[in-house]
Structure 1
Amino acid sequence: MADLADRLGAAVLAHPGVVRLDGGPFGTVATALPGRRVVGVAVGARGVEVAVVLRADRPVPPVVAELRELVRGVAGPVPVDVHVSDVEEP
């Protein structure tokens, strides 16, 4: 799970519409690993949850759809929830 969470975080951060990963309103979107957490990516038995801050100059729905497919490309055919925590000016 550690390798998957790290790979997912790197893939999501590489998307041009993503400013940063985010832990969500209470910091709960994260994968706990020995000695650290991958904030913004939660890998669980029911799928993957990602929380992000997006660039304001890109339309949100298409970016979310792209992120969902990106995550499935790394994690396989799993349910994916993408939460947009905020948008920021570039």
Structure 2
Amino acid sequence: MTGQERADAVAELVRAVPGVADLHPGMFGEVGTYLPGRRVPGIRFGDDTIAIHITVLEGAAVRETAAAVRAAVSREWPGVAVDVTVEDVAARD
């Protein structure tokens, strides 16, 4: 799997978790994966880690949502440490 495919797959998994509003680029936009011609915000790959920064929906259980994101990504990439940071809360439409 290429870096682009991996970043897109992680983003899709994270956005599908109930309670996740979207990925978050970090306080100063420092969290992201740079790809040719674009950037995937909120995901950073290390040698054996994936850092994911998210915005949760208002009313969602923050810790449980973060744990669900960690579990979803860990199922697809076993053996890789998944660090989830909740950066913000967004109002429901």
TM-score by length of 2: 0.89
Count of residue pairs the alignment pairs up: 90
**Residue segments in structure 2 that go unaligned for 5+ positions in a row:** none
**Conservation of the 8 A alpha-carbon contact between 2:33 and 2:39:** yes
Q: Which residue of 1 aligns with 2:30?
A: 28
**Conservation of the 8 A alpha-carbon contact between 2:24 and 2:41:** yes
**Conservation of the 8 A alpha-carbon contact between 1:20 and 1:54:** yes
CA RMSD of aligned residues (A): 1.1
- Partners of 2:60 and 2:36 in 1: how far apart? 36
**Residue segments in structure 1 that go unaligned for 5+ positions in a row:** none
Q: Equivalent residue of 1:16, what SS?
A: coil
Residues 2-58 of structure 1: CA deviation (Å, up to 9, x unaligned): 111100001101112111111001111111111111111112213101111001211
* Structure 1 outlier segments of 4+, above 3 Å: none
Q: Which residue of 1 aligns with 2:62?
A: 60
